[in-house]
Chain A
Amino acid sequence: MAKVHVTTTINGEPEEFLCEPHQSMLDALRGPLGLTGSKEGCGTGDCGACSITLDGRLVCSCLMLAVEAEGKKIGTIEGLAQGDHLHPLQQKFLEWGALQCGICTPGVLVAAKALLEKNPDPTETEVRFWLAGNLCRCTGYDKIVRAVLETAADMRRAA
């Protein structure tokens, strides 16, 4: 099958790649684009380990076709830090120890960032429901939720 040429923007940089018409965005990221920070936990939209943003909206990249990236803006975990300057969420996750194995962490961080952009002052319940699409089997979620709430408070103070 002929490959499709896709022109897109990834983490603010213009990017082109070739993909199969049926290839998922996750496979394109992890394969030709070499961005293995997005993880595959299920491939069926149930774990959130592959979370990215598509024009600012949170999506599971395993459920998106790579060709759908054409002309869009993609945000992945690799774009969270600015150079060696970690995003406040990344820093807070390290301080709280909000990760154990860390396989869910990229997806959780991308999802949490999308939440705080929409809602800078979420309640615990709002954080829990927003992150309900991101499975974590290690932490019991406690420190993840605390880290997100505390980052939100810090960012509000800094704003």
Chain B
Amino acid sequence: MNVIANKWIGQRTIRPDGADKVTGRACYAADNTMPGMIWGKVLRSPHAHALIRSIDTSKAEKLPGVKAVVTAKDLVEFPVDKPVPLGIQDMRWMSRNIMAREKALFHGHPIAAVAAINEEVAAEACKLIEVDYEVLPHAIEIEDAIKPHAPILHDFVRFEGKPSNIAGTMVNKVGDVEAGFAEADIVIERTFTTRPVHQGYIEPQACTVSCTADGKVTIWSSSQGQFMVRAMTSFLTGITQSNIRAIPAEIGGGFGAKTIIYLEPLATVLAKKSGRPVKMVMTREEVMRATGPTSGSRSTVKIGAKKDGTLVAAQGTFYLQAGALPGSPLRGPVGCSFSPYYIPNILSTGYDVVSNRSKVAAYRAPGAPLGAFAAECVIDEICEKLGLDPLEFRLKNSSKEGQKAVYGATFGKITFEETVEAALKHPHYKAPLDKNPRPGVKRGRGVASGFWFNAGGESSAQVNITEDGNVAVTTGHPDVGGSRASIANVTAELLGIDHSRISVLIGDTASIGFSNLTGGSRVTFASAIVVTQSTEKVIGQLKERAARIWKIDPDAVTWENGEARPAGPNAGKFPPLSLEDLAAKANEMGGPIGAGTQLNTTGADPGFATHIVDVEVDVDLAIVRVLRYSAVQDVGRALHPSYVEGQIQGGVVQGIGWALSEEYLFDKQGKLENAGFLDYRMPVCSDVPMIEPVMLEIPNPKHPQGVRGVGEAPIVPVLAAITNAVHDALGKRFCDLPLSPPRVSAALDAAAE
């Protein structure tokens, strides 16, 4: 596959949705209004853990301007003893997450919702709802939730036969770790912690829902999947899917968090009860208290190697916070942590721990970064003790094609080695680093690698030729960061026409076939497959039409540079027919031209990343700053390089926040203390340097355009790379994130004593 020869694939074209977005015209969820629209608000629990004895909404209902009040009674009830799966979610938990039933399980848990003529009246009405709570003791952190006599969140959760907050386990295993460790010359075991971090999308959740007298529901909302919105709303409200149409608004960031919903079912029942369209928009405070984040974790990782650096055994035990209801991303650390390496003996175990904080949601490579943090820091220590270069060490131990991964798959053509080789050769790795540039300042360099599964799954596309010979492409995936631009490039390439002649739209649930979530690094991979197939079908139709006009065999027609040409014995006999010509004759020749594809896509082989970072530590202020960052990744083929680079750069900076500054702080009552952007400190522009993405384009042989998923792998190595760099600077190994000034200064003080 020759990237250079492509006219459109690999070009930095202007995205189809670009002009709308730089002029403020793009319509995000909160930008929508409807005639007769009223506003919904949620009453939230003021307690971290409480029994709900009763809810009296009568005073709120009587307040002038209030049009509807709903509680859990207005939603479908799912008994706790029978799983109700939808994708990776369980509707038993989703229903209790969007509205508390028996108990309030975290501070901020929805208790009731009100719709009124404006936001002020709705908020006022919330205050009039009387809830009789019996406050219970709570547990926030993992240690508190798993210790003996911890407050139990759910009576139905049992672990080893006893009531427990451990709601699930996952074990991946190969070989025999005990035998493996017995062979090792060096064994290092450490325990690490990471804090829950929020996805931090700038657009709070929002929706508008209309429910008409004939029972038809229309939802405008921002999500990572309109089909998920439809299905979950259907489950939670009991309305059939055929009566719900979910229209995707532009999405202002999700990073996994918008793969589930909070507001849409509430707005739907409010709209149904009131007979008016209902709009709901979360405040930032509600976003922080009651959506996401990803799990905090406590991980113990033990790795054994031979003197020459050959890895022989690895054991990981990962406790993840699920939040108030079961379902933390155990697969991430359990399956990913050791997968870059060939290790004959692995035991990887995950525990899902519920506690009184908001239920976790997916966040970029769910769970993988916290596992890689533990594993890659231990590997760094092994390299240090054995006196080996950490990248050479990774090269020596890398996983290879044909080997079986701990999570069960057999690797196809994987490219971890290539990322390490590229990092070794990169000027950054060879650049001298002055470790003591000024008094009070220390510098260090660190490396780490990361793995993500990637995903295929269901996608649909429709490619239609317009009457004037241009192209309209519709897919079923919300575009979180440039996927429409990539699709335009692919279609232009295949049809051989200028990319500006192609419009790319995202269909709603009634206008395009089922398409799974935008997540798992799957959208460009999967949609490029269905768009390629649809476009190829269209080209087949175009050739057939030309053949009919010329009265020759369709096989004797080629499609080149946007036109049908007679080929073989007929070459040159007829003047070529362009897309416009064929569109103009479409109806005489059988009707409109267009084709769709609906497919469960496969072939999404995993992604690997290897990162190099230089940090500077101000010893007096205990501030860690990132000076230089290089992120190597195999991207398969960059359909639109700017948005591939953007995924890598954005993922790295989210990782920097996770490593250095982001964390949730709770008070003694279990109330989140930093529910806003001022105190929940995400990286700002002046915190970070340029991030250099080093894209390796090794085409994925299982994809028609060579695509490999990109979005998630770049966050996986960051936590460890930075922590390893801080070790290089200070000579001290940190095991607890974030490396914020209080934590770094405590460590420096302890070392000084």
Contact = CB atoms under 8 A, between A and B. Distances in A.
A94 B15 contact: yes
B434 to A, nearest CB: 20
Residue in B25, B646, B682 whose Cβ sees the most chain A Cβ within 10 Å = B646
A65 to B, nearest CB: 16
A90 B643 CA distance: 17
B21 interface: yes
A135 B12 contact: no
A113 to B, nearest CB: 12
Interface stretch (A2-10, A74-82, A151-159): A74-82
Q: How many of chain B's residues touch chain A, expressed as a range?
A: 35 or more
A44 B284 contact: yes
Contacts of B691: 140, 142
A130 B682 CA distance: 16
B649 interface: yes
User: What secondary structure prevails in chain B residues at the interface with A?
Assistant: loop
A103 B253 contact: yes
Nearest to B687: A132
A135 B684 contact: yes
Residue in A47, A78, A96 whose Cβ sees the most chain B Cβ within 10 Å = A47
Contact of A102 (B21, B255, B652, B687): B21
Nearest to A126: B686
Interface stretch (B197-205, B451-459, B493-501, B732-740): B197-205
Contacts of B649: 139-143
A39 B677 contact: no
Interface string B682-713: 11111110110000000000000000000000
Interface in A41-66: 41-44, 46-47, 49
Interface in A102-159: 102-106, 109, 125, 127-129, 131-146
Interface stretch (B26-34, B177-185, B267-275, B345-353): B26-34
Nearest to A143: B646
A42 B28 contact: no
Given A77-B23, A137-B650, A142-B691, A42 B686 contact: no
Nearest to B485: A97
Nearest to B656: A140
A33 interface: no
B252 interface: yes
Contact of B643 (A44, A95, A100, A104): A100
Contacts of B544: none
Residue in A41, A100, A104, A145 whose Cβ sees the most chain B Cβ within 10 Å = A100
Contact of A135 (B31, B281, B682): B682
Contacts of B645: 97, 142-143
Contacts of A100: 253, 480-482, 643, 646-647, 650
Given A40-B30, A131-B685, A137 B201 contact: yes
B654 interface: yes
A137 B31 CA distance: 20
B24 A78 contact: yes
A99 interface: yes
B686 A132 contact: yes
Contacts of B283: 43
Interface residues of A, number: 55
B253 A101 contact: yes
A127 B689 CA distance: 12
Nearest to A31: B33
B317 to A, nearest CB: 31
Given A137-B682, A138-B253, A39 B202 contact: yes
A109 B21 CA distance: 11
Nearest to B14: A94
A41 B17 CA distance: 21
A69 interface: no
B665 interface: no
B24 A35 contact: yes
B511 interface: no
Contacts of A30: 30-31
B650 A138 contact: yes
B212 interface: no
B69 interface: no
B200 A86 contact: no
A67 to B, nearest CB: 17
B603 interface: no
Contacts of A140: 646, 649-654, 688, 691
Nearest to B288: A42
A49 B21 contact: no
Nearest to B18: A94
B23 A37 contact: yes
Contacts of B251: 101
Nearest to A76: B24
Given A40-B30, A138-B481, A138-B650, A129 B24 contact: no
A38 interface: yes
A101 B481 contact: yes
26 contacts: A30-B30, A35-B24, A36-B24, A36-B27, A39-B252, A44-B678, A80-B22, A96-B642, A97-B12, A97-B642, A100-B480, A100-B643, A101-B254, A103-B252, A104-B202, A131-B684, A132-B684, A137-B202, A138-B480, A140-B651, A140-B691, A141-B653, A141-B685, A142-B645, A142-B691, A145-B685
Interface of B: 12, 14-15, 17-19, 21-28, 30-31, 199-204, 250-255, 281, 283-284, 480-482, 485, 640, 642-643, 645-647, 649-654, 676-678, 682-688, 690-691
Across the A-B interface, give the 7 residue pairs with the lowest CB-CB distance, nearest first: A37-B24, A103-B252, A97-B642, A100-B481, A140-B653, A102-B21, A140-B649
